[in-house]
Amino acid sequence: MKRLLIICLAMALFACKEEPKIDYALFSGKIENPADKVVTIYKGREKVKEIPLSKDGSFADTLRVEPGYYTLNHEGERSTIYLKPEDDIKVTLNYKEFDETLSYTGKGSENSNYLATKFLADEKSSFDYAKVFSMDEVDFLATMDEVKSSKSELLKAAKNISSEFRALEEKNTEYEYLSYLQNYQPAHRYFTKNDEFKPSENFMRSLDAIDYNNQEDYALLDTYKELVQGYYSNKISNADNPSEIFEMINKKGFPDLKKDLANMLNYQISPSNKHNDAYYKGIMAMSSDDKFKEELTTKYNKVKKLAKGMPSPKFVEYENHKGGTTSLEDLKGKYVYIDVWATWCGPCIREIPSLKEVEKQFHGKNIAFVSTSIDKAAAHNKWVEMVKDKELGGVQLMADKDWNSQFVQDYAIEGIPRFILIDPNGNIISADAPRPSSPKLVALFEELKI
């Protein structure tokens, strides 16, 4: 009897033992007309897994995941997907018509199908960023309300998506809307060329109640992450004493926020930033990445040498579109306005009509207009043809080593177009001069009596 009792007890304990927790999702599919040998899954910028394709374009693997948004990537084409443990999702698509043929089936697939549908809806809406952000405040708000309403309706119509996912998408819609409001003032100033523009006093009030320290939403939602980063970035850039804001973030900010802000604000250290010292010290305190800090220090030391009145870095024997070569030294005795650009750069090309107008206005004056392409050597012919086709004036040059050219490196150029103004003695007037489309450029030229 005693032995029987022990056996029964053992069986009861075995029966009550918890099943192992499943922490993975099954992910498989097939790609027609594949352009690569792998499919890659990302979580934000972090690579989760690279899955090889079979000869027929099929693939299958297990993914250790936490519930959240991921990215399916195949040779430059991508789709946002939602994965959680126990999902068993199959995807089919034709690479040549990626978004139009994308389809998910299997357990948990409804959430990812909704995201694919939302992407196509966004694409068809033809949201014109420049047009919308150039609107006056009343029309802008009306347009944003329409966008928000259409996304809410799309979500309401979605069937079989999980309640957890639906709640996240509701937050996504709200955070995206608030990010548009947050970006309105700087974007409106940029597109309308009105640097004095300010929205009404109540315009930003809906942002007052936002909790900018929600670590859970920050980890899950890119829309919230963008909102938080924009909030702190604006707070720093608008502060009379940015050091105080950096100090507050370094004391109260959570690690992922500080890491992301450090990487983002790194680009704000530039010749035109009068608070470079505060930015440098604040970013250094935010980061724990020794390599990043070393690179930041190198950049900071470069930028310090680009102050007004310092000798300009030089370019030597750059290819001249008209033949031969040109060096900065050849232009000594004149003011030199340099446009660093490339044929593939949309914002650069949009500045061309304004640059032509400024060149025309100051034709015959003691100033040389120099456009320096940083196209790669493989795009040399494209540069030659674009200069001809667009009838570009001034001195048209091609840098010797694209982004790696010494002149580009010495000026700490990380984005283009970039404009530089040098005086007749070869000294820097502005290492980050106004764009041709900005009224500030002509005002600066007139101030210098060019």
Over range 3-17, report the average pLDDT. 49
Closest CA to 117 of 180, 84, 58, 160: 160
294 and 361 assigned to the same domain: no
User: What are the two backbone dihedrals, phi and then psi, of residue 208, each rounded to the nearest 5 degrees?
Assistant: -65, -30
**CB of 155 closer than 8 Å to CB of 166:** yes
Q: Average per-residue pLDDT in the chain?
A: 93
217 and 297 assigned to the same domain: yes
Q: What gap in Å lies between CA 368 and CA 360, rounded to an integer?
A: 12
CATH code where residue 401 lies: 3.40.30.10
Count: domains in the chain: 3
Indicate whether 43 pLDDT > 80: yes
Indicate whether 5 pLDDT > 50: no
pLDDT, residue 339, reads 98
pLDDT tens across 89-136, in order? 999 999 999 999 999 999 999 999 999 999 999 988 888 999 999 999
The reply to whether 261 falls in a domain is: yes
SS (H, E, C) 26-41: EEEEEEECCCCCEEEE
167 and 144 assigned to the same domain: yes
276 and 360 assigned to the same domain: no
153 and 78 assigned to the same domain: no
140 and 177 assigned to the same domain: yes
Over range 191-218, report the average pLDDT. 92
Indicate whether 426 pLDDT > 50: yes
pLDDT, residue 125, reads 85
Q: Binning pLDDT at 50, 70 and 90, where does residue 237 land?
A: very high
pLDDT, residue 1, reads 47
201 and 333 assigned to the same domain: no
pTM beyond 0.75: the answer is yes
143 and 194 assigned to the same domain: yes
323 and 296 assigned to the same domain: no
The reply to whether 7 falls in a domain is: no
Indicate whether 12 pLDDT > 90: no
The reply to whether 426 falls in a domain is: yes
| Domain end among 277, 304, 331 | 304
The reply to whether 257 falls in a domain is: yes
Amino acid at 412: A
pLDDT, residue 16, reads 52
Q: What gap in Å lies between CA 20 and CA 397, rounded to an integer?
A: 66
46 and 154 assigned to the same domain: no
Rg (CA), the chain: 28
pLDDT, residue 193, reads 84
Q: What percent of the chain has pLDDT over 90?
A: 90
178 and 271 assigned to the same domain: yes
Give the range of the structural domain holding residue 327, as residue numbers without chain letter. Answer: 318-447
Per 3-state DSSP, the chain is made up of helix, strand and coil in percentages (nearest 5) of: 50, 20, 30
pLDDT, residue 45, reads 86
